[in-house]
Each structure stands twice: as C-alpha cells, then as structure tokens.
C-alpha cells in the first residue's frame, strides 16, 4: 500500500508569499506614507526659497562674465526653446487625443503626461525670458502671469 504524500507547494503564490510581505507592501500604512510624501513634495514646489547670497541682475551678469551680446543670444536661445517645446506640446496633445479615439486609453494618459512635461519646459524657458526682459532675478509667478496678461509689472 502506497503512502499518502504531502502536497508539494510549487505555486507562484506560495513562493511570492514566502519571500514578499504582501500585506505590508499594499497595506494602509504604505498608502499613508505615499500620500504624506506626495504632500511634502507638492508643498516644496510652491514654497519660495530665500537666496543665500542675494545679488542683483547686473551683479550676477558681472560674476558670470556675461556681456550684453551674450545675454541677447541667451534670450533668443530661450525663445527658440520655448517655441520648440510649445510646438512639441501641441503635437503631443493632438496625438494623445488620437490615441483616445483609437482606444489606447493607457497610452492616452502617458501621452498627456509627456505633454505636461513639455509644457513645464516651455513655461521654464518663458519664465527665464521674462526675467531677462525684466533684468532682475527672483521674479514671482504672479509677476510673470501679470506680464503675460498685459498688466503692469512692478519693478
């Protein structure tokens, strides 16, 4: 008479459970830590940092030995990059909606995310153009926005 054998546990679930603590990986504590981390990152984005060594625009130009000709060239370079990123953003935006219409929903979200990254780069270049045009450092978002909408900018 043959002995009854113990079942061999070769399932993937058994292997995963024995090496990866699944409950702690997807538990509420992890969600809370992730939320707190995201919250602190977002707060840091909108917090204005104080300059450790405050200097004027002209002092910065002198320190970095940038001439007026170099400054004008940089302004034109920022402008070209701004237009490039805006054109890229527009193309990515329309491509993302094309993906929506053909049914690739996950790719739509990826396309919109890449569009957002391209718009961030365009904003950065436009903001730098604004600072060069105003000839001062430490401009705020509100000053940039008011200038964009044609409102007076205080110096």
142 within 8 A of 46, measured Cβ to Cβ: no
Give the pLDDT mean for 121-146. 87
pLDDT recorded at residue 1: 56
Residue with the bigger pLDDT between 60 and 94: it is 94
pLDDT band at 11 (very low <50, low <70, confident <90, very high): low
Furthest C-alpha separation in the chain: 98
Give the pLDDT mean for 100-113. 90
pLDDT band at 26 (very low <50, low <70, confident <90, very high): low
Q: How far apart are CA 126 and CA 77, in angstroms?
A: 11
Across the chain, what does the average pLDDT equal?
Answer: 81
Residue linked to tokens 């538990």: 27
3-class secondary-structure state, position 33: helix
Residue linked to tokens 């904003």: 123
Give the pLDDT mean for 41-55. 72
Instruction: Using alpha carbons only, give the angle 26, 29, 30 rounded to the nearest 5 degrees.
Output: 50
Nearest 10 degrees: Cα torsion 110, 115, 117, 120: -160
**Is residue 41 over pLDDT 60?**
yes
How buried is 19 (Cβ within 10 angstroms: 0-12 exposed, 13-18 middle, 19+ buried)?
A: exposed
pLDDT recorded at residue 38: 79
Q: Which two tokens stand for residue 45?
A: 């984005």
């Amino acid at each position: 008479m043959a002995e009854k054998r113990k079942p061999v546990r070769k399932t993937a679930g058994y292997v995963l459970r024995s090496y990866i603590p699944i409950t702690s990986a997807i538990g509420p504590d992890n969600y809370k830590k992730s939320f707190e981390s995201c919250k602190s990152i977002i707060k840091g984005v909108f917090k204005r940092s104080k300059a450790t060594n405050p200097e004027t625009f002209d002092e910065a130009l002198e320190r970095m030995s940038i001439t007026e000709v170099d400054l004008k060239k940089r302004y034109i370079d920022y402008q070209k990059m701004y237009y490039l990123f805006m054109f890229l953003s527009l193309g990515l935006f329309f491509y993302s909606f094309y993906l929506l219409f053909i049914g690739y929903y996950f790719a739509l979200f990826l396309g919109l995310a890449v569009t957002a990254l391209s718009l961030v780069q365009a904003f950065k270049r436009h903001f730098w153009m604004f600072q060069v045009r105003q000839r001062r450092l430490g401009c705020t978002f509100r000053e940039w926005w008011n200038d964009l909408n044609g409102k007076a900018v205080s110096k």
